[in-house]
Amino acid sequence: MRIWELKDVIAFDKLGQQMHDFISELYPICRSITGEGVRETLRIVQGQISLELHEVPTSTDVLDWTIPREWNIKDAYIMNSNGERVVDFRESNLHVMGYSVPVKEKMRLSELRKHLHTLPEQPDWIPYRTSYYNEDWAFCISQNQLLELDDDEYEVCIDSSLEDGYLTYGEYYLQGQTLEEVLISSHTCHPSMCNDNLSGIALVTFLAKYISTSSHRYSYRFLFAPATIGSLTWLASNEENVHRIKHGLVIACVGDPGSVTYKKSRRGDAEIDRVAKHVLRHYTEDYQIRDFSPYGYDERQYCSPGFNLTVGSLTRSPNGEFDEYHTSADNLDLVQPMYLADSFIKVLTILDVLEDNKTYMNLFPKGEPQLGKRGLYRKVGGPDIDMDPLAVLWVLNLSDGQHSLLSIADRADIKFDQIRNAANVLLDHNLLEEIPS
Ligand code: ZN
């Protein structure tokens, strides 16, 4: 039985808009790897799903790392000698380099320039910069803003704090029929940018909400954590349980017009890798599949050699490969409901195949069973049964307890749905028996 109905296109269109609205709500919040912005974001996620928030104190050792002090910011500006804010944090939180230490000083432009980041090749855009593990302060402004700064004396203020506090992450667990888990992870540490990382937060939130209403074989663990330090923290706190993770996906950058990109797990031939490849090949015209590389998002941690989890990564344009990446142009116009919905369908289709990728035994393996006397011969493909006769023959032939439905689908070069439909009809006629995994 299909557990998720994927054909309800109208509902999925609405879902794209809902995800976009959700991104719009989260967009103004100033997030970082710690601080109130992350808490506020996760509280808004709690409006959709029963997310559990974890607070891990500053200075806690996590694997080879240490939880940093908590960073918060109230205000920041650069003010000219006329008392005008020429750069104002209230207009864009990207104006302050993330984790900037507090500062309140007067300085000439020549001195201030040492603390200004711009993007000369995109003169209207504000770059996104951070300095988490190195105490510093800076402003990020557009190149055009820089050109307008006169040789004046400026008051520079960053009203931030770096104090002992907590790293906050969110976790939502949905138990299935088995304790074997699917891990779905998204990062939460970016301020006002939409594709990286709000599109991932939105997709994972609505995915969790959707799956919570379905019956599912696997248990699902949805993780919302700051990049790198957050997944390290989760791994450090859950080392004894990670063996339950059978499949995983890191989800980010899923709202832009680029084609869907799947990056394989470090193992390269894990079930999630084969499922993603099948789904993209059969259900998508334009896609990319890449081998694992130790660059990107939190798959770097999940696929580190000491864990080597079967976690792949799904994006549209990968990190660093779209012009708007890590700039103010990664905004509400870049991400569009149709791309969010399309990404959602791809992820759900991957999970749908994983859920039903079972292995069967043909109960009449000596010769072909006679389909005619069971009413299956030539009836196939009729209005009542969506069944491909070739798929039936493949399922009967390869259901020897050694081939999962996905491996049959790949071997036959037939869509998983057709193979599954054939298996379901054969099960209904007592021609197959499921082999427990
Ligand atoms: Zn990023």
Ligand 1 center to residue 190 CA distance, Å? Answer: 7
Comparing CA positions, the residue from 273, 271, 275 lying closest to residue 246 is 271
Are 327 and 122 a contacting pair, CB within 8 Å? yes
CA 195 / ligand 1 centre spacing (Å)? 9
Residue 6: predicted pLDDT:
54
Alpha-carbon distance of 322 to 23, in angstroms, equals 19
Q: Are 187 and 197 in contact (CB under 8 A)?
A: yes
pLDDT in tens, 12-58: 779 999 999 999 999 999 999 999 999 999 999 999 999 999 999 99
CA of 196 to the centre of ligand 1 (A): 5
Find the 97 Cα to ligand 1 centroid distance in Å.
13
**269 C-alpha to ligand 1 centroid (Å):** 27
The total number of residues written for the chain in this structure: 437
Contacts of 218 (CB under 8 A, 6+ apart): 176, 177, 178, 180, 181, 182, 246, 247, 354, 355
Q: How far is the CA of 168 from the centre of ligand 1 (A)?
A: 18
Which tokens is 373 given? Answer: 């006397």
Ligand 1 centroid from CA 182, angstroms: 24
Residue 31 Cα to ligand 1 midpoint, Å, equals 12
Distance CA 299, CA 260 (A): 17
Q: Average per-residue pLDDT in the chain?
A: 95
Centroid of ligand 1 to alpha carbon of 21 (angstroms): 21
pLDDT at 1: 33
| Distances in whole angstroms, Cα of residue 33 to Cα of each of 51, 131, 165, 399 | 18, 11, 12, 49
**Maximum pairwise Cα distance, the chain:** 93
At residue 3, the pLDDT reads 44
166 CA → ligand 1 middle, Å: 21
Q: What is the pTM of this model?
A: 0.95
Burial of 231 (0-12, 13-18, 19+ CB in 10 A): buried
Decide if pLDDT at 2 tops 70: no
Q: What is the pLDDT of residue 378?
A: 60
d(CA 157, CA 76): 5
Spatial distance between the Cα atoms of 392 and 425, rounded to a whole number of angstroms:
9
93-120 pLDDT per residue, tens: 999 999 999 999 999 999 999 999 999 9
Q: Using an 8 Å Cβ cutoff, are 201 and 140 in contact?
A: no
* Residue 305 φ then ψ, to 5°: -60, -30
Name the residue with higher pLDDT: 5 or 416.
Answer: 416
Query: How close is the Cα of 280 to the center of ligand 1, in Å?
Result: 25
Q: How far is the CA of 319 from the centre of ligand 1 (A)?
A: 7
